[in-house]
């Protein structure tokens, strides 16, 4: 007899390509059917079949306060009572832009959009216009959304499903996308020496989160900053994942690097669809209607998302990031020990409330070393943990996320679930 999730998936496949609205959700790489979720609260979610699971996906990162935080939910309810969309300016978008600028001083001005993909796509257009150049440097394994220019060696779902990066994208669209190896500053220097006068920008996840979690080597981000300054290119930090999760000032605050433009998403909407990009005033004033670079969106600055974002950032400003980081590291380290106790090769990468357990003995420092992880072992781990009440990302190349809602009991229960998984 089929479960309700299986029945829903069969129905979905008749009307939705692949039965899902974002590819990794299909769980193909981990050999499972997707888990259809009925509701969530705090650190936990419940499937349509009634299974309760401790969640370490947290909507792929934004729910640092946990699911259905009461203060965020109340803010959304208040906003909904006044109207769900106006197609006109509202006070909330001003308040959220001010909150973002206060936390991230590099963002003199902020433009709200509805997704991280919109944010990165718009920032790239702006960088090209501002510099009057066409070429962009991106890194193997870094994912910046599904706009055409970014789908070259993009990691994340493309890697999970073994899909070539650019079917359906004309060759001319990606001819100006220059690829470099993450953490290899020499590689980037060579690109600038050869093509520096044509490079509009370097876009980077300052802490990579789409080939699993990969930290920047000491000096890597500063080196990018120096190269961009030297050659007149813009440095774009894609902080869609790291913004407000590594701390209120994001990766740029943690590492002390000032980008020219920053892209945000996920967390600044408190779980609602949202994105934003911003940077130096003289750059941002090129955006219409102040300037000549066109970008628009009917639902940009949506009052529900703005209310959720303001409530989220206000609450985060009162919480102890350092304590959550310490708890997360202790938990992830113990999880690594549990797996090593089963005779498995494990490499741990951790920062703040994010971590990845790679099933490899190779220290992971870039896309090539990330791909040494044993995806079959991860599939077994994923299925076993799901069976024992723990929800992990259905891909070996994603991060796990803790939240302020995860209790010590949640973490202990998760470790006990890991001990039960048979490999």
Per-residue pLDDT of the chain (423 residues; tens, 9 = 90+): 789 999 999 999 999 999 999 888 888 889 899 999 999 999 999 999 999 999 999 999 999 999 999 999 999 999 999 999 999 999 999 999 999 999 999 999 999 999 999 999 999 999 999 999 999 999 999 989 888 778 765 444 444 343 445 677 777 777 888 999 999 999 999 999 999 999 999 999 999 999 999 999 999 999 999 999 999 999 999 999 999 999 999 999 999 999 999 999 989 999 899 999 999 999 999 999 999 999 999 999 999 999 999 999 999 999 999 999 999 999 999 999 999 999 999 999 999 999 999 999 999 999 999 999 999 999 999 999 999 999 999 999 999 999 999 999 999 999 999 999 999
| Residue 387 designated active-site | no
The two tokens of residue 381 are 């781990």
Task: Tell me 114's DSSP state.
Answer: S
Instruction: Give helix 408-420 / helix 375-387 axis angle, nearest 10°.
Output: 120
Q: Which of 69, 130, 143, 260 is catalytic?
A: 143
Active site residue 184: no
Which is catalytic among the residues 69, 238, 366, 410? Answer: 238
Interior/surface letters 56-82, b for 16+ CB within 10 angstroms, e for the rest: bbbebbbbbbbbebeebbebbeebeee
What's the pTM?
A: 0.94
Domain with CATH 3.40.640.10 in the chain: 70-316
Range(s) within the chain of domains with CATH label 3.90.1150.10: 4-68+321-420
Strand order from edge to edge, sheet including 400-401 = 347-351, 354-358, 400-401
Q: How far apart, in whole angstroms, are the C-alpha atoms of residue 213 and residue 207?
A: 7
Q: What is residue 419's three-state secondary structure?
A: helix
Is 231 assigned a catalytic role?
A: no
Judged on CB neighbours under 10 Å (0-12, 13-18, 19+), 383 is middle
Task: Please identify, in words, the CATH class of the domain defined by 4-68+321-420.
Answer: alpha beta
CATH for 70-316 is: 3.40.640.10
Set 266, 336, 365, 371: catalytic member: 266
Which tokens hold the place of 208?
Answer: 């990579």
């Amino acid at each position: 007899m089929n479960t309700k999730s299986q029945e829903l998936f069969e129905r979905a496949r008749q009307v939705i390509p692949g039965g899902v609205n974002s590819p990794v959700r299909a769980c193909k790489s981990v050999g499972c059917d997707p888990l259809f979720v009925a509701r969530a609260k705090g650190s936990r979610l419940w499937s349509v079949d009634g299974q309760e699971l401790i969640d370490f996906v947290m909507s792929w990162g934004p729910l640092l306060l946990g699911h259905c935080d009461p203060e965020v939910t109340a803010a959304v309810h208040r906003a909904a009572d006044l109207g769900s969309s106006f197609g006109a300016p509202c006070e909330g978008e001003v308040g959220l832009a001010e909150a973002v600028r206060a936390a991230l001083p590099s963002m003199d001005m902020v433009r709200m959009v509805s997704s991280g993909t919109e944010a990165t796509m718009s920032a790239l257009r702006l960088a090209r216009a501002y510099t009057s150049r066409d070429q962009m440097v991106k890194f193997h394994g870094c994912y910046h959304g599904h706009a055409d220019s970014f789908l070259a060696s993009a990691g994340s779902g493309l890697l999970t499903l073994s899909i070539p990066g650019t079917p359906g994208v004309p060759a001319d669209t990606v001819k100006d996308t220059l690829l470099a190896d993450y953490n290899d500053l020499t590689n980037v220097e060579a690109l600038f020496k050869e093509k520096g006068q044509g490079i509009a920008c370097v876009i980077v996840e300052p802490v990579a989160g789409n080939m699993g979690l990969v930290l920047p080597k000491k000096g890597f981000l500063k080196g990018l900053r120096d190269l961009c300054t030297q050659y007149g290119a813009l440095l774009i930090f894609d902080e869609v994942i790291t913004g407000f999760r590594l701390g209120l000032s994001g990766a740029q605050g943690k590492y002390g690097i000032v980008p020219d433009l920053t892209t945000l998403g996920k967390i600044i909407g408190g779980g609602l669809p949202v994105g934003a990009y911003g940077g130096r005033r003289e750059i941002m004033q090129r955006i219409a209607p102040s300037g000549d670079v066109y970008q628009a969106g009917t639902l940009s600055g949506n009052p529900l998302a703005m209310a959720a974002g303001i409530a989220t950032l206000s609450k985060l400003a009162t919480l102890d990031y350092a304590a959550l980081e310490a708890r997360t590291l202790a938990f992830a380290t113990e999880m690594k020990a549990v797996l090593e106790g089963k005779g498995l090769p494990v490499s741990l990468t951790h920062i703040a409330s994010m971590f990845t357990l790679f099933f490899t003995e190779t220290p992971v420092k870039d896309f090539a070393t990330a791909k040494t992880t044993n995806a079959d072992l991860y599939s077994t781990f994923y299925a076993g943990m799901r069976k024992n009440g723990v929800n992990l990302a259905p891909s070996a190349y994603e991060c796990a996320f803790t939240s302020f809602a995860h209790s010590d009991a949640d973490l202990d229960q998760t470790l006990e679930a890991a001990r039960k998984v048979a490999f």
